[in-house]
Chains A and B, each alone.
Chain A
Amino acid sequence: MLEAINLSRTFTSDKVDYEVLKAVNLEIKQGECVAIMGKSGSGKSTLMHLLACLDEPTSGSVVFEGSDFTTLSEGQKNRLRNEKFGFVFQQFFLNGRETVFENVALPMRIRGASGKRLNENSMESLQAVGLDDKAKKSAKDLSGGEKQRVCIARALVGKPQVIFADEPTGNLDSKTGETVENLLLQMNKDLGITLIIVTHDEDLANKCERIIEIKDGRIISGN
């Protein structure tokens, strides 16, 4: 379903090229739960950005459900990320001035969904993470674990096929981290959403069906 073909990414800074990804080939199937593991600087985040259509490769391509990202227009890419993908970030990126509900509803607002659809989906995904009673609360008044659950609700709201989670437990203590992990894995099992977790946490990686280990821009195992 999601395939990387000869994927390379080079960053240039001060006229020096850094090849962060080196001709990576990878295929992820529908409904899989994949952990991308590696040390910092290994290129795992860059790989995720490329797979999530947030960045453009220097060479090679990413194909999602038969469509090559390099052939898509800016608008098509935006729609793809909005409709097919969900994102969970380490630093949450919640808007503390808005309510929990508004934070969750953001992808639906960007999509331009009708008021009814927007309400239903948002409340539904808040229910899924068990925070429907805090919908009216301001996002800044939540605990860290609750914040990350709101982020999961936000990732779920558009009914995506793939959820990308970038160090989802990196900012949480082990106990709340586990709740968040379980929640993500449950979404994968119950809803069949493909889950791609970028992490350097071995415990979390071990809970996934498949671990792709990456080092110095190359996949060293799991392919």
Chain B
Amino acid sequence: MKIWDLIRIANRNLLRSKLRTFLTVMAIFVGSFTLTLTNGIGDGLRDYVETQVKNIEGDSALFVRKKFPREDEQNARIGEPEEYKEIKEDEQGNRIDPNSIVVSLDQINSLAKEFPEVKKATPAYRMRAEYIALADSDKKFKVSLGMLSEGLKQKLEAGKMFDGKNQIILPLYLAEGFDEKVENLVGKTAKIGYKTEESDEIQIKELKIAGVATKGMISNLNAFVDAETAKGLYTAQRGESRDYNRFTNFTFLLNSSDEKTMEKVKNKLEEKGFTAMSYADIEKRTYDGIGILQTGLNLFALIALLAASFGIINTLIIAVMERTKDIGLQKALGMGRGKIFMLFSMESILIGFWGALLGIVIGIACGLVANAYLASTYLESFEGYNLFVFTPLSIIFIMLLVCTVAFLAGVMPAFRASRLNPIEALRYE
């Protein structure tokens, strides 16, 4: 029997009892509808994070911090007393406090010297600004300053990355506050107002606007300056403070973005009691988290599918009983076991196919309607975030998954049908 004949006959057999088929398809529909939406939520998050995280790039930068005192202890229990460790001095004479993750600039520099792969070590300078204003305007906005160390690149709406000191990249919302046409701002001078530790008097730092950042998770919040400028501001603000030049994290820029080199440096840092992550690691960690969430959501849909697959089993068992004589005749006329099996499997796959198709189409329709509604209400402030995103790959995956589940549900009844004895089947009442 030809495959096309099998499909045609299977389809016709399903139409014999339309209501029964319809109800079974509906059960599968509920499962695949849910799966389409739960999977769409995961893809939506991934899609959003992708546009947000990928805003900043830096293949050869590692973000390093000292490990927390008990980070390596597996299953460190809350409520157990923690041992106090004495402050020691290392070979370079740096005082090392094992109870804290704070490191001094000297420690960072001497650590960097141990790695020939490290081109530049930059501590995470923290700055606090009171406001930002344009040199030629009175408009003042609150601003938070961030630092992009060497080797990191921010995606831009206008202008270019800084190519020297005393330049700034504005977040899009801020730039739009100054001028709707953000490209007009590039090259203009901005004034940062800041206070120092000792006085309440506001100091002014003039910076050239190098560019305007594309929207993103971090670039939605911060205006960025380069490390040199950051260091200058940091020193001006914190120069007199007790924890001047003491940092909780820092960046290592390597002279290669080669994965092996990155891995080697990471491992060596690990041995020395530090933990390092590249941008790729951060992304991966985020994606892993989304993946877990997505799998969790999909599990609910899979339970619905599982329930529906019992419906398929039931439907097919009844069909085998109803059509026992047909099967007997087909076998008498020379149809092999394999073909009988395929015929019934085809019926269960078709039930799965129609259920999946219906579920996917209606799921996508509902998702798109919900997206449109949410975009103008609850998610208005998350521009570019769609709760549901449907990718062709996911749709194909759902289709295949549902058809596979349906096929598996049909195995037992189809096997029964294929094993019928033709003489007994023809005598069946």
Q: Which residues of A contact B (CB under 8 A)?
A: 49, 54-55, 74-75, 78-83, 87, 89, 91, 93, 95, 97-98, 106-107, 109-112
Known: A49-B423, A89-B426. A74 touches B337 (CB 8 A): yes
Known: A54-B422, A55-B423, A93-B426. A110 touches B326 (CB 8 A): no
Q: Which residue of B lies closest to A79 (CB)?
A: B334
Q: Which residue of A lies closest to B325 (CB)?
A: A93
Among A93, A95, A97, A110, point to the contact of B334 (Cβ < 8 A). A110
Contact A78 B335 (CB under 8 A): yes
Contact A75 B333 (CB under 8 A): no
Contact A110 B339 (CB under 8 A): yes
Q: Min CB distance, B347 to chain A, in Å?
A: 15
Q: Is B330 an interface residue (CB 8 A)?
A: yes
| B contacts with A: majority SS | helix
Q: Which residue of A lies closest to B323 (CB)?
A: A95
Contact A107 B426 (CB under 8 A): no
Q: Which residue of A lies closest to B335 (CB)?
A: A110
Interface size on B, residues (CB 8 A): 22
Contact A109 B337 (CB under 8 A): no
A74–B337 Cα gap in the complex (Å)?
Answer: 9
7 more contacts with CB within 8 A, not counting A93-B328, A106-B333, are A54-B422, A54-B423, A80-B334, A97-B12, A106-B329, A109-B2, A110-B1
Q: Is B163 an interface residue (CB 8 A)?
A: no
A107–B332 Cα gap in the complex (Å)?
Answer: 10
Contact A107 B333 (CB under 8 A): yes
Among B1, B12, B331, point to the contact of A112 (Cβ < 8 A). B1
Contact B2 A112 (CB under 8 A): yes
Contact A111 B334 (CB under 8 A): yes
Contact B333 A74 (CB under 8 A): no
Question: A80: which B residues are within 8 A, CB to CB?
Answer: 334
Question: B339: which A residues are within 8 A, CB to CB?
Answer: 110
Question: B422: which A residues are within 8 A, CB to CB?
Answer: 54
Q: Is B5 an interface residue (CB 8 A)?
A: yes
A98–B337 Cα gap in the complex (Å)?
Answer: 22
Contact A78 B336 (CB under 8 A): yes
Question: B328: which A residues are within 8 A, CB to CB?
Answer: 93
Contact A95 B332 (CB under 8 A): no
A110–B16 Cα gap in the complex (Å)?
Answer: 21
Contact A106 B426 (CB under 8 A): no
Known: A49-B423, A95-B326, A112-B2. A87 touches B337 (CB 8 A): no
Contact A81 B332 (CB under 8 A): yes
* B301-331 vs A, Cβ < 8 Å mask (1 yes, 0 no): 0000000000000000000000001101111
Instruction: Enumerate B204-238 residues with CB–CB distance to A below 8 Å.
Output: none
Contact B423 A78 (CB under 8 A): no
Q: Min CB distance, A111 to chain B, in Å?
A: 7
Question: B325: which A residues are within 8 A, CB to CB?
Answer: 93
Question: A111: which B residues are within 8 A, CB to CB?
Answer: 1, 334
Q: Min CB distance, A213 to chain B, in Å?
A: 23
Question: B12: which A residues are within 8 A, CB to CB?
Answer: 97-98
Instruction: Enumerate B341-381 residues with CB–CB distance to A below 8 Å.
Output: none
Instruction: Enumerate B405-429 residues with CB–CB distance to A below 8 Å.
Output: 422-423, 426
A83–B335 Cα gap in the complex (Å)?
Answer: 11
29 contacts between A and B (CB under 8 A): A54-B422, A54-B423, A55-B423, A74-B336, A74-B337, A75-B336, A78-B334, A78-B336, A79-B334, A80-B334, A81-B332, A81-B334, A82-B333, A82-B334, A87-B332, A87-B333, A91-B426, A93-B325, A93-B426, A95-B326, A106-B329, A107-B334, A109-B1, A109-B9, A110-B1, A110-B333, A110-B334, A110-B339, A111-B334
Known: A97-B12, A110-B339. A54 touches B332 (CB 8 A): yes
A112–B5 Cα gap in the complex (Å)?
Answer: 9
Question: B335: which A residues are within 8 A, CB to CB?
Answer: 78, 82, 110
Q: Which residue of A lies closest to B5 (CB)?
A: A109
A13–B325 Cα gap in the complex (Å)?
Answer: 22
* B2-28 vs A, Cβ < 8 Å mask (1 yes, 0 no): 100100010010001000000000000
Question: B329: which A residues are within 8 A, CB to CB?
Answer: 93, 106
A117–B408 Cα gap in the complex (Å)?
Answer: 36
Q: Min CB distance, A36 to chain B, in Å?
A: 16
Question: A87: which B residues are within 8 A, CB to CB?
Answer: 332-333
Question: A83: which B residues are within 8 A, CB to CB?
Answer: 334
Q: Which residue of B lies closest to A92 (CB)?
A: B329
Q: Which residue of A lies closest to B16 (CB)?
A: A97
A193–B423 Cα gap in the complex (Å)?
Answer: 24
Among A79, A91, A110, point to the contact of B330 (Cβ < 8 A). A110
A78–B328 Cα gap in the complex (Å)?
Answer: 13
A180–B63 Cα gap in the complex (Å)?
Answer: 92
A109–B8 Cα gap in the complex (Å)?
Answer: 12
